[in-house]
Structure 1
Amino acid sequence: MNESGLLSSEDIEQIEAIGARLEVLYEDEHYVAVYKPAGLLVHRSWIAKEASLFALQMLRDQLGQYVYPVHRLDRPTCGVLLMAKSSEAARKLAEQFASHKVGKNYLAVVRGYVEGEHLLDYPLKEKLDKMTDRQAREDKPAQSAITAYQGLQTAELPYPSGKFPTSRYSLVAMQPKTGRKHQLRRHMHHLSHHIIGDTTYGDGRHNRLFRDLGYSGLWLFSNRLSFVHPYKLQSIEIDCPLPDRWKRLYQLMTWN
């Protein structure tokens, strides 16, 4: 997504490249997980009336059966998206999401150097939607929000993004322990390690640098999802291969 909230050319290329099919990462008789590219909505939304492709409808057409969402990924976030093949299966897994029993791992590119392992416990005020949350209380206290994060790799680019002649970045793994709206993006903003490409909570100078270098979009990737299968009672771990746009960024950063 660009600063105006519209799809970037790279977002459009990703969506057009998949045509009418989504890459299936896991499937059994109850659940199916796919890779959702950045820029693709999970379902129809009033805030993106111009959109014509939606992961939910695409997967229904692809499988030839109705599917039910059990969680969501923001439009600019790419990665593992899990859906159920029945309303009962959706309900059973949604309960695990609601009780924070589903393991979620994200990769993000952030400004500055992040090293070591950390646990951030920083409550967040509920983010209200202008249309759907008009009746909600605006004076509710901040809610508990906990994120574990680890610095994986660092890079220094020979380009200025402010008063310094170079710019420093980190590849960070994050595991949200709670499920607040935009939790990872808001927590990284709180730490001043803004996620690159975040047009709401990010740093505009670094976002512009990445766009100028040809790496637009939000650099947040849901690369792993794990849960206990409600029917098989087995631990299921779904890993998503590194997307091509991320591979190109790794080359720029000289990351492994």
Structure 2
Amino acid sequence: MLEDRVLFIDGEAMVIDKPAGLAVHPGSKTPESLEDYLHHFRFGFRRLPLPVHRLDRDTSGCLLLARNPKAHKRFQRAFEEKKVEKSYVAVLDGVPEREEGQIDLPLGKVSTREEGWRIVHDVKGKPALTRWRTIAVKDGRAVLLFTPTTGRTHQLRVHAAEGLGLPISGDPIYGAGRGPMLLHALSLKMEREGKTPVEATAPLPPTFVNAGFGDVLG
């Protein structure tokens, strides 16, 4: 039941734990999406809640929804002004040489008829900044905590693959694609004037547990 995945809710905001495999918006390759299930999240309201940002289809975890149009605009502005704190946990196909650092790689989009589109490092692209630190190492793979400053499409996936030289395990585009992609939106926090912050943490999903990383957060 998707409605059981609500992590935070009040009169204007909701954070849900989006499952991996479900796109936020429909597309040519994702006819089924969260939009098909938003009616489950009305909880007495006439309006459907609206996603404020997006997570990749294969990324699980914290997704912010707005429960009215005014809140949606205000929350989107908070994202644009970098006032939303987000953290992600990911398993990499290897172990970085350092234990922590910062990846500053601008990103751009390329597209070919044969392979479709993807994101690449582009010196003339949009600025993209990610801080990271290693929180565990197991069986030759590192578990990283990512705290992105910007929110570019596929930012963490490309920063892992090109910035660290180690793709996220299971990444079907920038890595080997073996097994499910182990990238999870762990937490989200957004301050609000005159109100308590929107704040939520999503438990590690079964994909991490089944891969042997269910205990990495302590």
Q: What's the CA shift for 1:186?
A: 0.4
State the Cα RMSD in Å: 2.5
Q: Which residue of 2 aligns with 1:84?
A: 66
More strand by share: 2
More helix by share: 1
- Runs of at least 5 residues in structure 2 that lack an aligned partner in the other structure: 114-121
Q: How does 1:1-256 map to 2 (within 5 A)?
A: 18=1, 21-49=3-31, 51=32, 54-64=33-43, 65=46, 66-114=48-96, 115-126=98-109, 141-156=124-139, 168-190=140-162, 191-202=164-175, 204=176, 207-208=177-178, 216-230=179-193, 232=195, 234-250=196-212, 256=218
Q: What's the CA shift for 1:251?
A: 5.5
How far apart are the structure 1 equivalents of 2:216 and 2:128? 33
How far apart are the structure 1 equivalents of 2:112 and 2:14? 29
Q: What percent of counterpart residues are identical?
A: 30
Q: 1:251 to 1:192 in 2, by over 3 A?
A: closer
Over residues 144-163 of structure 1, what are the superposed CA-to-partner deviations in whole Å (9 max), with x where a residue is unaligned? 1110000111112xxxxxxx
How far apart are the structure 1 equivalents of 2:157 and 2:146? 11
Moved beyond 6 Å, runs of 4+: 252-255
Highest CA radius of gyration, 1 or 2?
A: 1
- Runs of at least 5 residues in structure 1 that lack an aligned partner in the other structure: 1-17, 131-138, 157-167, 209-215
Q: What's the CA shift for 1:143?
A: 1.7
Q: What's the CA shift for 1:21?
A: 3.4
Q: 1:174 to 1:127 in 2, by over 3 A?
A: farther
Q: Counterpart of 2:141 in structure 1: which amino acid?
A: Y
Q: What's the CA shift for 1:255?
A: 7.9
Q: Counterpart of 1:239 in structure 2: which amino acid?
A: T
In the alignment of these two chains, the number of paired residues is 205
Report the TM-score, using the length of structure 1 for normalisation: 0.72
Report the TM-score, using the length of structure 2 for normalisation: 0.84
